């Protein structure tokens, strides 16, 4: 591999880069030589309000370190404004090489109390926003026959969690979006991958810490700072990841995991065909040993961060 910054000469667009994981990715990409378009509308965790201050703070850090950055305060959750975000990167730096879809909000509530407004708000930012920004960026990527997408997914979607039907559905949808982009745009030398980040930030600060067990869990989560996810994002955006596309990774403190994707586990067949009664009597019992448990992310990752 050639010496020097991994992203020298590249332009990166990072959404939700006003704080948390997005800010750390933007800072890391700038340190590796990228010029960065920082997109953040400066809203609350629930998506309310708005301020240019978070994006400007990230820009100032990059500039103080000798890097180049510009800001955009347009929302990802609208097609026209998403196109303005991509145009802002092109206007500021003349090209675009990397898109990190990180912007997000939370409207957590148990499913039977979730309102249509809470559902749509989260879907619009996470899933629709990832599509809008990616689709807008696909045009310059296709024209230059190169580009890299890095999308943020979550184990809430990959595995499951309580009270996050909207967030989980959006985050699992993003993995399918990423795979589709990887397939459709391979001919243009465009790659697309996902990261399921583990980090203590305002997106996880609402986790309850009332019982001793909950307090112990939160203390462990707090070890996993947002910056631990940035090296993987930089790698996936770089030319060093030229052969990596359509994959789902997770970054958990000092651990990097490759996550599975849906494939057949077991099968049964009956040449005469099936009736509901035969399925109950034969197919379901034969497949039962392969059933996945009704588990959550913390059940799959019960061990301390390494």
Task: Please tell me the distance from the alpha carbon of residue 213 to that of residue 242, in angstroms, as a whole number.
Answer: 43
Q: Judge whether 19 and 44 are in contact, CB under 8 Å.
A: no
155: nearest Cα among 235, 86, 250: 250
Task: Please tell me the distance from the alpha carbon of residue 104 to that of residue 86, in angstroms, as a whole number.
Answer: 18
CB under 8 Å to 60, separation ≥6 — which residues? none
What is each CA distance from 105 to 59, 100, 202, in whole angstroms?
21, 16, 10
241: nearest Cα among 226, 260, 256: 256
* Phi, psi of 190, deg, nearest 5: -105, 130
Structure tokens at 14: 């990072």
Task: Please tell me the distance from the alpha carbon of residue 216 to that of residue 241, in angstroms, as a whole number.
Answer: 37
Active-site residue 132, yes or no? no
DSSP code string of 152-182: E--HHHHT--TT-HHHHHHHHHHHHHHHHHH
Indicate the SS3 state at residue 37. strand
Of 93, 119, 132, 167, the catalytic one is 167
Active site residues: 167
């Amino acid at each position: 591999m050639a010496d020097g910054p991994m992203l020298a000469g590249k332009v990166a667009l990072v959404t939700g880069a006003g704080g948390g994981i997005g800010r750390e990715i933007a800072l890391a990409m700038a340190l590796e030589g990228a010029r960065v378009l920082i997109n953040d509308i400066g809203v609350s965790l629930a998506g309310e309000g708005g301020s240019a201050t978070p994006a400007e703070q990230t820009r100032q850090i990059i500039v103080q370190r000798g890097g180049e950055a510009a800001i955009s305060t347009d929302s990802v959750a609208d097609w026209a404004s998403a196109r303005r975000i991509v145009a802002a990167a092109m206007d500021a730096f003349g090209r675009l090489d990397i898109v990190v879809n990180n912007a997000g909000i939370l409207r957590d509530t148990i499913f039977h109390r979730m309102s249509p407004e809470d559902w749509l708000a989260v879907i619009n930012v996470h899933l629709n926003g990832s599509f809008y920004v990616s689709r807008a960026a696909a045009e310059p990527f296709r024209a230059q026959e190169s580009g890299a997408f890095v999308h943020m997914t979550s184990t809430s979607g990959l595995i499951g969690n309580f009270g996050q039907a909207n967030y989980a559905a959006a985050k699992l949808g993003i993995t399918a979006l990423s795979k589709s982009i990887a397939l459709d745009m391979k001919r243009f030398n465009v790659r697309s991958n996902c990261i399921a980040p583990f980090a203590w930030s305002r997106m996880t600060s609402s986790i309850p810490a009332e019982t001793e067990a909950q307090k112990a869990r939160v203390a462990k989560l707090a070890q996993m700072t947002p910056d631990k996810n940035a090296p993987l994002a930089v790698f996936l955006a770089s030319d060093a990841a030229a052969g990596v596309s359509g994959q789902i990774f997770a970054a958990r403190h000092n651990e990097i995991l490759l996550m599975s994707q849906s494939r057949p586990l077991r099968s049964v067949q009956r040449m005469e065909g099936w009736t509901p009664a035969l399925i109950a009597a034969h197919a379901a019992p034969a497949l039962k040993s392969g059933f996945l448990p009704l588990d959550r992310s913390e059940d799959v990752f019960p061990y301390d961060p390494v």
